[in-house]
Amino acid sequence: MKTKVGLIFLLGFFWLGFPLSPSVRAASAAPDELSETWDEIGQALRDWVDRARDYLSFNIRVPREERPLISLMLRNRDKLGLSADQVRSLEQLRNDFQKASIRNDADVRVAEMDLDALLDEPKVDMAQVEAKVREIERLRADLRIARIRTIEKGKEQLTSEQRKKLQELLSESQLSRPQPGTVTENRNSSKATE
């Protein structure tokens, strides 16, 4: 709840702060530049909101493979009875995935910029556009598969008794979570956490 209030406050601050920025004041003197400046501000805000949404995890429905299972294991290391070696191994898996996720995110963003450049051409080359869209989706699919592999490797670190305890923890978290569609529900995962 505090996170949502903080995000709302922050968005309000940015919303009120943008019209006061020097670039907007300067743009108001030139009507042609005003449109371009607002487009840039809008794009920057959309990018920021996308990153904030990913970071704060505001999606209501979470695909099973996107749950922060390794982070959940590490947060509940005492309940699961994880050994020091298991903790090290799980932390290494999580860290490796975070690095791969950051690299993948950068690759997707660069590819999106390339796609924008292709679409800005006076005559759009549909073959190049199609190839770029497929590249972007392949990158997203690669990350999703890497996330699933990482989670499965994390599960392999657990004994059968620990897996049973993990299932109980997952059941408890499902019961304590608000019902779908309620305002207070949020996703308990971050794309770059597993």
Neighbouring residues of 97: CB distance < 8 A, sequence distance ≥ 6 = 70, 146, 147, 150, 192, 194
- Name 80's Cβ contacts closer than 8 Å, sequence gap at least 6: 73, 158, 162, 165, 166, 169
Count the neighbouring beta carbons within 10 Å of the beta carbon of residue 169. 17
Return d(Cα 83, Cα 193) in angstroms, integer.
Answer: 21
The pLDDT of residue 174 is 61
192 contacts: CB under 8 Å, gap ≥ 6: 54, 97, 98, 101, 102, 105
CA atoms of 60 and 186, how far apart (whole Å)? 6
Instruction: Among 4-18, 38-52, 90-104, name the one with the lowest average pLDDT.
Output: 4-18
Q: Taking the complete model, does pTM exceed 0.85, yes or no?
A: no
Query: What does the buried/exposed string (b/e) look like for 138-162 if buried means 16 or more CB atoms within 10 Å of the residue's CB?
Result: ebeeebeebbeebbebbeebbeeeb
Least confident window among 13-17, 142-146, 155-159: 13-17
Say what the pLDDT of residue 11 is. 60
Task: Give the Cα separation of 118 and 114 in Å (integer).
Answer: 6
The C-alpha torsion from 134 through 152 and 164 to 56, rounded to 10°, is: -50
Please state the rounded mean pLDDT for residues 158-173: 89
- For residues 47-53, average pLDDT: 70
Q: What pLDDT is stored for residue 37 in this prediction? A: 80
Residue 113 corresponds to which tokens in the numbers above? 């910029």
Q: Per-residue pLDDT tens for 135-156?
A: 999 999 999 999 999 999 999 9
pLDDT averaged over every residue in the chain: 77
